[in-house]
Chains A and B, each alone.
Chain A
Amino acid sequence: MKKGTEFIGLNFLSFVSKYGLVFALFIMLTILSVTAEYFLTYSNITNILLQSVNIGIMAAGLTVVIIVAEIDLAVAAIQTLAAVVVAMLLVNYGIPIFPAIVLTLFVGIIAGAFSGVFAGWFAIPAFILTLAMNSLARGTALIITDQNSIWGLPEGFAFIGQGYVGPVPFAVIIMVLVFVVVHVLLTRTSLGTYIYAVGGNIEAARANGINVFLVKVLALTISGFCSALAGIVIASRLMAAQPIMGLWDLMDVIAAVVIGGTSLLGGEGRIIGTVIGTLIIVSMRNGLNLLGISPDWQLIGIGVIIVLAILFDYFGRNKAI
């Protein structure tokens, strides 16, 4: 037991690193509700939640990949590809809604698995593979649409992104479900333990008989699936799909995960952190928009928050017991 101010200092940092995140969100929401007139209205809050959906779903998948000490740079590209694919299946090929969704999710699974298998087989970091996949997915989206937007999606499809169940948007329910499923996967299944083990000490994981290759492939597949799901939701919200959308989403998704306390070094991270990180990023963008601050300055704002989050994580980790 340490005495005096030293004890208080250590305790404070550990407290901050655990609850600091929630504090930060709270402080930010307070500042924004005071400065921006329509921030705290029912319709704006619903807006924030709806805007969080695609970022949140992708962030859930990316959290898994980052815990495994890899990264998926293709999340936004797969989201766009999926949006465009589902739209084309529905509009150009007249495929019914449910099969179109399943096929699109499959596209995401294949993209993720491909990156994972290729990276694992040739012992290349997923960073590089997913960088390639990012281009491949975006290029594919542009080619198959011939750079055109697709619209005229069947009415039934709108429920996913625009429907409500009582007062709650259906899309938000989907996002919450994704968070819950990923949380259960990480904390209650052996795959979850292996994900943390591979991220924490890959050699020890191997020595204990864990199939490291398979764990990483599964992580990237999960991320691909989540990105595709996000694409489907976006296509439904907009009832249109453009091959050039979501260009900035990668940054917001990575920011959400990192701000949420998941370490880029791997082995650490919790979904609840990603949830809060997502809310922080999205409410910040929303609030700054309401304040009329240009997207360029918003970029600076996000950069500053990421740096602060990393610093908090670093000090919280090293000083706290």
Chain B
Amino acid sequence: MLSLNSISKNFGSIRALNSVSLTLNPGEVLGLMGDNGAGKSTLVKIVAGSFLPSEGAMHLDGEEVKFSRPLDARHNKIEIVYQDLALCNNLTAAQNVFLGRELKHRLGPLSFLDYRSMNKKAEELFDELKSSPRPRDLVRQMSGGQRQAVAIARTLLSEARIILMDEPTAAISVRQVSEVLDLMRRLRDENVAIVFISHRMPDVFAVCDRIIVLRHGEKVADKRIAQSSTEEVTGLITGAISSV
């Protein structure tokens, strides 16, 4: 469904990604691991439209795509949960979920925000995620797990075909981690493809079908999880094993 061909990205003189290629299929959870600075977030941000690659191309369903802004990716049914969640603390949970795609009523030539529908839909999404944020509360007042739920709820708004998650289990409780992993499985069963960036090996091994490891901007492994092991992956991340 999605294929990245020799994607490279430079930030000034730093080569964050060096000729990385991968494919992503529907109904697949792809784990993306690597040490800090390996290029995982950069890669995923390119797919989400935050940056354009310096070299290389992306193809979606066989056709080449170029996402020059996040909206382009969203229109192609690609959603992302950023590592820092990209939430506005001064807005409510519902406002954050709908940010950029507010529900409105028209009154002649003008449109006004439909808070009631947004609050209601946000509440439904939070229930689906089995989480507790209240749609009218300010995000600033919420715990890490609630903020995570708001960020994830955002990706469920449109019917995304690809969801990119950058460290979604990093700052939440044990119970919530298991909720997030269950959500990933449910999405996978609905044929959504998920890219899961994480440092937490047990989570990756619990839910991923395939794993890719990046080191210093290069892909050093791309294999089915069942054919790998935590030791092998750790070795790949640190460089003890140079590649497989």
Contact = CB atoms under 8 A, between A and B. Distances in A.
Given A190-B104, A210-B100, A203 B86 contact: yes
B181 interface: no
Nearest to B114: A188
B88 A205 contact: yes
Question: Mostly helix, strand, loop or mixed at chain A's interface?
Answer: helix
B112 interface: yes
A289 interface: no
Contact of B112 (A188, A209, A267): A188
Interface of A: 184, 188-190, 192-193, 196-197, 199-201, 203-210, 267-268, 321
Interface in B80-100: 82, 85-91, 95, 99-100
Interface of B: 50, 69-71, 74, 82, 85-91, 95, 99-100, 102, 104, 110-113, 141
A201 B88 contact: yes
A17 to B, nearest CB: 15
A321 B137 CA distance: 12
B102 A209 contact: no
Contacts of A207: 50, 70, 82, 86
Contacts of A206: 70
B89 A201 contact: yes
A209 B90 contact: no
A209 B74 contact: yes
30 contacts: A184-B112, A188-B112, A189-B113, A193-B95, A193-B99, A193-B113, A196-B88, A196-B91, A197-B91, A197-B95, A199-B90, A200-B88, A200-B90, A201-B86, A201-B87, A201-B90, A203-B86, A204-B86, A204-B88, A205-B88, A206-B70, A207-B82, A207-B86, A208-B86, A208-B100, A209-B70, A209-B74, A210-B99, A210-B100, A267-B90
Nearest to A197: B88
A205 B100 CA distance: 8
B133 to A, nearest CB: 16
Contacts of A203: 86
Given A207-B70, A208-B100, A209-B69, A190 B111 contact: yes
B96 to A, nearest CB: 8
Contacts of A204: 85-88, 99
